Amino acid sequence: MSDVLTATADSAAQLFTDTYGHQPKGVWSAPGRVNVIGEHVDYAGGICLPFALNRRTYCAASSRNDGIIRLVSLLPGRKKVFHWEGRISDIGPGHPRRWPGYPAGVIWSMWQDAATIGVSLTETSGFDMAFVSDVPVGAGLSSSAAIELATACAVFDLVGPGLDSLSEGRKDTPSQHIIKACIRAENEVVGASTGGLDQSISFRGQAGKALELDMGEGLISDVPFDLAGNGLAILVMNTNAPHNLGDGQYASRRAIVDRVMEGLHVTEPHREHKLVDRALEWTAQEPEASVKEEKEEWLDLVARRMRHIVTESRRTESLVTALRKGALGNPKDKDAVCGLEQIGGLMTASHESLRDDYEVSCPELDSAVDAALEAGAWGARMTGGGFGGSAIALINAEDVEKVEEAVLASARQLGLATPTFLVAIPCDGARREK
């Protein structure tokens, strides 16, 4: 294919036909996501507030009965087409590597739990799939969950009961199984220790709304998030700093949290009384460091990690409460200013906690956040796993260009990569397109 494709259902079908020589049985899509607040707490039973992004990954697909799986992908803004071919039995922890691990991992995971999920998958099952996407890769906007859920929807429709069999809002047990299969693919095949926020919102997102995800209780509820109607915007600031959750930094932080929660028999840290103190008492008994100075450093590290886990979910609860009370108002209405300041303050406090206690920010993210705030943003924070990727800012819709210019100027002054931008609009989750 000679031209760079725009990511649509038609372009996915075109890539499929050009590659395999026949028409696909259908095209499915799933969005990336923006997390308004509630970062690095999904794997700790915390509360998150994401919405589905208005950027999608499209999967054109057909089933086969010869056991062959063929995958082809055209990455955003690229002309080069990437291919992978194999069998279900070829897939497992660490293989295939890079992008094929996400869709192949989903097929493998659904095969592993075929009876539970309700799909007809055996070692003779195969698929032809073609992917196109406009979700920025490596931007912390969960391009991984988008390709996983697009794949899962295709498989569920082609060899399972079909998406139409799921309940409205997708809060039923079969929907949970689909999400868990995608989480397992990313955890076990790709090797990224993600906790499920991304997969859940990519599958369940609703236009004009954010979703409150209580990962400990397993509760899901809609939260009004009408940005455009109130003259507001969420500006995504992609720092274009390298972002890779499979490099061990993400996993090392999760390992500390998992260890403390297991040791204290805690499932929802933010609901525990004096959890940080209890975590320190328990950790002090662990033979993690024999030298006093090392032990003090270790205890300080554990305290900061757990403090973020506790305070972040509480910030999310406060922000959700504010939204339900109508705090997201039009900035031209003087009565709305107090609510917007509250929302923005919680977002910014989240970034400070991620920067100082969880230590997952970086100079590029800090630059974007600081510049956006100086340019008048109500609040700003990094979003996603961190160590690069994107930050977001809640701004007046009329200030988009002003904030972009401020963020660009800051990056230039510090000699950082040139950021790129998009205005995020809450949209619907994964679906069949045609």
Two tokens, residue 390: 């994107």
Tens of pLDDT, residue by residue over 242-280, are 766 556 787 889 999 999 999 999 988 888 888 899 988
Strand partners, 201: none
- pLDDT for 372 equals 99
Q: Please tell me which residue in 42, 198, 214, 399 is annotated as part of the active site.
A: 198
Question: Does residue 353 surpass a pLDDT of 90?
Answer: yes
pLDDT band (50, 70, 90) for residue 1: very low
Find the mean pLDDT for residues 225-252: 86
Domains of the chain: 9-226 (3.30.230.10), 232-267+311-424 (3.30.70.890)
8 A C-beta contact, residue 312 and residue 40: yes
Two tokens, residue 46: 């915390």
8 A C-beta contact, residue 102 and residue 181: no
Two tokens, residue 150: 């697009």
Min mean pLDDT across 105-119, 284-298, 317-331 is at 284-298
3-state helix, strand, coil split of the chain in percent (to 5) is: 45, 20, 35
Strand partners, 423: 235
pLDDT band (50, 70, 90) for residue 289: low
- pLDDT for 325 equals 95
Cα gap 248→25, rounded to integer Å: 39
pLDDT band (50, 70, 90) for residue 288: low
DSSP states of 158-177: HHSS-GGGSPTTS-SHHHHH
The secondary structure element, H or E, covering residue 210 is: strand 209-214
pLDDT band (50, 70, 90) for residue 296: confident
Find the mean pLDDT for residues 323-347: 95
- pLDDT for 285 equals 82
**Amino acid present at 247:** D
**Amino acid present at 84:** W
Find the mean pLDDT for residues 84-95: 96
Cis omega (within 30 of 0) on the bond before 31?
Answer: no
Find the mean pLDDT for residues 192-216: 94
The DSSP 8-state label assigned to residue 298 in this structure reads: H
pLDDT band (50, 70, 90) for residue 195: confident
Strand partners, 376: none
Find the mean pLDDT for residues 336-349: 97
Tens of pLDDT, residue by residue over 46-79, are 999 999 999 999 999 999 999 999 999 987 666 6
pLDDT band (50, 70, 90) for residue 3: very low
pLDDT band (50, 70, 90) for residue 239: very high
Cα gap 251→109, rounded to integer Å: 21
pLDDT band (50, 70, 90) for residue 228: very high
Strand partners, 223: 210
- pLDDT for 271 equals 86
Q: What is the rounded average pLDDT for all residues in the chain?
A: 93
Cα gap 92→83, rounded to integer Å: 18
Give a three-class secondary structure readout of 306-346: HHHHHHHHHHHHHHHHHHHCCCCCCCCCHHHHHHHHHHHHH
Tens of pLDDT, residue by residue over 370-415, are 999 999 999 999 999 899 999 999 999 999 999 999 999 999 999 9
CA 290 to each of CA 121, 256, 386: distance values in angstroms, whole numbers, following the listed order: 51, 18, 31
Cα gap 264→43, rounded to integer Å: 16
- pLDDT for 249 equals 81
Any idea which residue has 């949290």 for tokens? 257
Pairwise pLDDT comparison (75 vs 162), residue with the higher score? 162
Please state whether 162 falls in left (phi above 0), alpha (psi between -120 and 50) or beta: left
Question: Does residue 323 surpass a pLDDT of 60?
Answer: yes
**337-356 and 363-374 helices cross at what angle (nearest 10)?**
160
The angle formed by the CA atoms of residues 137, 126 and 176, to the nearest 5 degrees, is: 60
- pLDDT for 292 equals 58
- pLDDT for 5 equals 47
pLDDT band (50, 70, 90) for residue 286: confident
pLDDT band (50, 70, 90) for residue 2: very low
Any idea which residue has 């999920």 for tokens? 117
Cα gap 349→414, rounded to integer Å: 23
Two tokens, residue 116: 């539970």
3 flagged as catalytic = no
The helices-and-strands tally (H runs, E runs) of the chain is 12, 12
Query: pTM for the complete prediction?
Result: 0.91
Strand partners, 183: none
